[in-house]
Amino acid sequence: MLCCRGCHVYSDYSIMKKILVINGPNLNLLGLREPTLYGARNFAALQQFIRECADKLGLHVELMQSNHEGVIVDAIQDAYGKFDGILINPAAYTHTSVAILDALKAVALPTVEVHLTDISTREDFRKFSYVSLYAHKTICGKGFDGYSEGLQYLVNLLSK
Ligand code: DQA
């Protein structure tokens, strides 16, 4: 069934797949932060974009953002048994965090890694991603659209 906004409406919340969307450090400064790289749209616009994509796909999403590695590790741990998958932009922790990698491996939920920019064409230190060692898919360089592609990927994966 579609609602007036063209979104899917599910009468039974329990059958909706639940995805935790995690954004790491400094992504809260989108719009202000290096707009030539990350774009002019702010973090609120990204959150709205993700919610609209989730609505269209019939997904339940919870969004969190933190500048702190341990808070992200805690969120991943808490996702166990509550969520069906994780969409994560670990931001700078992509390139440094064994703790986030280990948390993802521990809960073993289907995970998509997303980056607004193409980290493979930026500074050398951005070319390696710890999270990629676990993620089922990594999407880079597609801006906001990378998040919708990531959600779509999770839908397909979870429907198998
Ligand atoms: C980023 C890329 C990272 O290298 C950087 O530290 C970020 C954002 C991206 O979305 O392109 O904070 O993850």
68-79: pLDDT as tens digits:
999 999 999 999
Catalytic residue among 8, 10, 115, 147: 115
pTM: 0.93
Q: Which atom, in ligand 1's list, is nearest to the CA of 27?
A: 12
Q: Using CA positions, which residue lies closest to atom 12 of ligand 1?
A: 91
115 is catalytic: yes
Which superfamily, per CATH, for 13-158?
A: Dehydroquinase, class II (3.40.50.9100)
Residue 7: its pLDDT value, please?
54
Pairing between β-strand 85-89 and β-strand 18-23 as defined by DSSP bridges: parallel
Residue 149: its pLDDT value, please?
98
Residue 12: its pLDDT value, please?
63
- Dist. CA 16–CA 60, nearest whole Å: 6
**Model confidence over 24-53: pLDDT tens digits?**
999 999 999 999 999 999 999 999 999 999
Residue 44: its pLDDT value, please?
98
68 is catalytic: no
Q: Which atom, in ligand 1's list, is nearest to the CA of 95?
A: 4
Residue 10: its pLDDT value, please?
54
Residue 15: its pLDDT value, please?
87
Residue 74: its pLDDT value, please?
99
Residue 60: its pLDDT value, please?
97
Phi, psi for residue 137 in degrees, rounded to 5: -155, 145
Which residues of the chain fall short of a pLDDT of 70? 1-13
Query: Do residues 109 and 79 make contact, with C-beta atoms less than 8 angstroms apart?
Result: yes
Residue 14: its pLDDT value, please?
72
Distance 15 CA to ligand 1 centre (A): 33
Query: Do residues 138 and 94 make contact, with C-beta atoms less than 8 angstroms apart?
Result: no
Catalytic residue among 8, 10, 13, 38: 38
